Amino acid sequence: MEQLVILSKLEQEYLLHAIEAALPLQDARQFFLWTQGPLQALLPHQVMVCLQFGEQDELRHVECLHSTVLDVALRERLSHRDDGLALRLARHRRQLPRLPAWLC
């Protein structure tokens, strides 16, 4: 049985703000700013790899967002289209019940 996660009042406020701030996003620049602002408050991160899969489970798009200078080799290991860590983690999780996955 999985543990239930209950957000604190502050975390609930961060979540609501992140959702509301995401609604008007229309382009990649706005999305990046959102990840570094409202989403950063809710889920602190230095690197985020976003993956988009098609209907046949094929990888359609991969984007590595980072707020710091990221070593090219590390970025490649995280977000390579064929065997990056993010892709392997996502494919592994897709075989299990539909739960989000992230690395800290």
Longest Cα pair distance anywhere in the chain, in angstroms? 41
Query: What per-residue confidence (pLDDT) applies to 102?
Result: 58
Q: What is the pTM of this model?
A: 0.77
The single residue listed with the structure tokens 């995280």 is 78
How many angstroms separate the Cα of 31 from the Cα of each of 10, 44, 72, 77? 23, 16, 22, 23
The mean of the pLDDT values for the chain is 90
pLDDT in tens, 32-55: 999 999 999 999 999 999 999 999
Query: What per-residue confidence (pLDDT) applies to 72?
Result: 95
Residues 86 and 62 sit within 8 Å (Cβ to Cβ): yes
pLDDT-derived band at 1 (thresholds 50, 70, 90) equals: low
pLDDT-derived band at 93 (thresholds 50, 70, 90) equals: confident
Report the number of secondary-structure helices (H) and strands (E) in the chain.
5, 2
